Amino acid sequence: MQDYFNYEYGLTLAPRTMAFEIVIAAVGKSWRARGGNPDIMGDLPGLFVKYGFRIDYLNVNQRIARPGHSMWHWPESFWESYLPRLVEMEFISVQQRKDFEEAWASASKNPAAFCLLPPVFDLVAVKE
């Protein structure tokens, strides 16, 4: 299986901005409020072992997105679809959304900027 761990701390923008950090924290809160867990991979190995599985493989995929590169479109498309939902659910204000969009637009024009994407973990467990 493949899922997230350390989502809110692992997803960062360089140079750092408070607007980005506020939105990332709101994403995590919004998922938890609906029963989700952006750090589920931290729990899964223990659950698998508890129920008689052997962990055969555990690894992390860490990706970096840079403006002008194809990977930049992945977070960009997420912001386009999820920021309005964060406002609707009242996890961020309209002003916080605007601040984020300005920070993202600025980073998108900065050849030195990069976005460290959330760590995605691979786990292979085998029933013993």
Provide the pLDDT for residue 106. Answer: 97
User: Which pLDDT belongs to residue 6?
Assistant: 93
Share the mean pLDDT of the chain: 97
pLDDT in tens, 20-72: 999 999 999 999 999 999 999 999 999 999 999 999 999 999 999 999 999 99
Cβ–Cβ < 8 Å for 62, 5: no
Q: For 60-95, how does the pLDDT look when each residue is reduced to its tens digit (9 = 90+)?
A: 999 999 999 999 999 999 999 999 999 999 999 999
For residue 128, pLDDT beyond 90: no
N-term to C-term CA, the chain: 17
CA of 81: how far to CAs of 45, 74, 77, 78, in Å? 31, 11, 6, 5
d(CA 66, CA 58): 27
